[in-house]
Amino acid sequence: MEENEIEMEIGRVPVVEFLIQSAEHLHVSPIVKYSAFSFLADRFFHSLPTFIQAAGASSSSWLLRPVTESTLQLFALISLWISTKIHNSRPLSVASFKSLAHTFIKDQHFTTRNFLEAEVLFMQVLNFEIGTSNIAFFFLEDLWVQFKGVARVGELISIEVCMDIMDLLYEKEEMSVHFRSPKSLAASILVTSYVITVPRQKWEFPLLAWGKKLFDFLSTF
């Protein structure tokens, strides 16, 4: 068990970076990308050690014996694949993901059957819980739109900067510890983007007070 946890922790950052790069290569929408982030970083990594322990060494899939960077990269692609099935009217085909895996996963070759097996296993680790209504990006986008509607400087806040900040947070293990609430994460990202992109002389209200109002507002729904 401890060995699997160590292997998974070693692979976390490069696998998250791999997911970011894969999303860019596949040209998926932001909600597809961040739903996949939630599946992989918030749920899969958290649940995998317990799943492995419960399954036992003899009954675990070969994909988990041992957990390697290559198999975690496969699961990153699976998270994107599932996300496209949820959000896209025409999901990307398994061939698209196979081609990407063939190009960027050098240590192992994965077949269509491997992808299908990995998808089932991924869903089992998540206990088939793939809801996306509580994704941080939903709250972030909503806050961004509302802010632009009530403050002139809202037009200066870049959603691209917000997404860059979210990517950086997902690359850090601390994100899963300090930002359990996607609402708090969304508010924190918007405040940070405000500080980064809006010139100080154009700030229209006290930053800390505004940040507190954001958190209070989010706690109401």
DSSP per residue, 145-163? HHHHHH-GGGGG--HHHHH
The answer for residues whose C-beta is within 8 angstroms of residue 201's C-beta and 6 or more apart is none
**So what's the pLDDT on residue 22?**
96
The answer for residues whose C-beta is within 8 angstroms of residue 140's C-beta and 6 or more apart is 162, 166, 185, 186, 189, 190
**So what's the pLDDT on residue 1?**
45
| Residues 46 and 38 sit within 8 Å (Cβ to Cβ) | no
In a domain, 131, yes or no: no
Q: Are residues 140 and 66 in the same domain?
A: no
Indicate which CATH number applies to the domain containing 11. 1.10.472.10
Q: Are residues 90 and 172 in the same domain?
A: no
Q: How many CA atoms lie within 13 A of 144 on its CB side?
A: 22
**Where a domain ends, among 125, 148, 178?**
125
Reduce the DSSP state of residue 217 to 3 states and report it: helix
Which domain does 86 fall in, by range? Answer: 2-125
Q: Are residues 75 and 104 in the same domain?
A: yes
Q: Are residues 22 and 118 in the same domain?
A: yes
**Where a domain ends, among 90, 125, 160?**
125
| Residues 5 and 69 sit within 8 Å (Cβ to Cβ) | no
Q: Are residues 32 and 112 in the same domain?
A: yes
In a domain, 183, yes or no: yes
Closest CA to 20 of 181, 163, 189: 163
CA 155 vs CA 50, 145, 150: distances in Å: 45, 9, 10
Q: Are residues 42 and 105 in the same domain?
A: yes
**So what's the pLDDT on residue 101?**
94
Closest CA to 134 of 58, 38, 4: 38
| Residues 13 and 171 sit within 8 Å (Cβ to Cβ) | yes
**Where a domain ends, among 125, 144, 167?**
125
Q: Are residues 106 and 169 in the same domain?
A: no
What are the φ and ψ backbone dihedral angles of 133, each rounded to 5 degrees?
-75, -15
Q: Are residues 88 and 196 in the same domain?
A: no
**So what's the pLDDT on residue 146?**
83
The rounded Cα 121 to chain-centroid distance in angstroms is: 18
Report how many domains make up the chain: 2
In a domain, 130, yes or no: no
pTM score, whole prediction: 0.80
Closest CA to 137 of 41, 4, 50, 6: 41
Tens digit of pLDDT at every position of the chain (221 positions):
444 454 455 567 889 999 999 999 999 999 999 999 989 988 898 889 888 888 765 556 888 888 888 999 999 999 999 999 999 888 999 999 999 999 999 888 999 999 999 999 999 999 998 887 788 888 899 888 888 777 677 778 888 999 999 888 887 765 555 456 788 888 888 888 888 887 776 665 555 555 555 555 555 54
Q: Tell me the H-state helices in the chain.
A: 2-26, 30-37, 45-55, 69-87, 94-104, 112-125, 136-150, 159-171, 174-178, 182-197, 207-218
Q: Are residues 33 and 61 in the same domain?
A: yes
Q: Are residues 155 and 95 in the same domain?
A: no
**So what's the pLDDT on residue 68?**
87
Q: Are residues 141 and 119 in the same domain?
A: no
Q: Are residues 144 and 201 in the same domain?
A: yes
